[in-house]
Amino acid sequence: MSNYRRYFIPGGTWFFTVNLLQRQNNNLLVHEINLLRETVKSVRKRYPFKIDAWVVLPEHMHAVWTLPENDTDFSTRWRLIKSGFSRALPKTEYRSEVRIAGNERGIWQRHFWEHAIRDETDFQRHFDYVHVNPLKHKLVSQVKDWPYSSFHRYVEGGIYPLNWCGEVDLEVHGDQLHACDYALLIAPTRAQITKK
């Protein structure tokens, strides 16, 4: 069995990727978006954390969270989100013998990927990565068209323009620069995001 080592920083900011077990032809997360939202809301009541950025795609999600001062326990929060979401669904998914023996559902991959945000540049890169992800996966032609993202909150707050990473190409010194590349050059700072 693998020995996963996690890095813990009290009050730290983290980037996460959380995947469904079945990644192919699965739209469970967007189909059950209201259940996911209610589950997150319930967990945040008991174990608060700040959502800096979040995007929910059909079969995985990315998030940037900041934990309360002196708190390092993001694992409990994810365990409660995943288990709360799973318990509310009917048991219709395929489960391997190992999962059946362990009384586990077959909805989520067991682990998630986390990355400790090191500095302002790292925060900006991951903040933008979360929001551009639907475009990256070709789910939409413009970031603004994906409804399950904190992007819209930051448009309303004046952090992003509505057409951020739009379809317009820019020319810079004779090279083509996609609007999204330009947007990354003028990415918001964490101070700007926190103020809003």
Active site residues: 148
Q: Which amino acid is at 136?
A: K
Locate tokens 């995943």: which residue?
A: 82
Task: Specify the residue for token string 């810079």.
Answer: 172
Integer Cα distance of 54 and 170 in angstroms: 28
φ/ψ (deg, to 5) at 105:
-80, 165
Contacts of 27 (CB under 8 A, 6+ apart): 58, 59
DSSP-assigned beta bridge partners for residue 175: 172
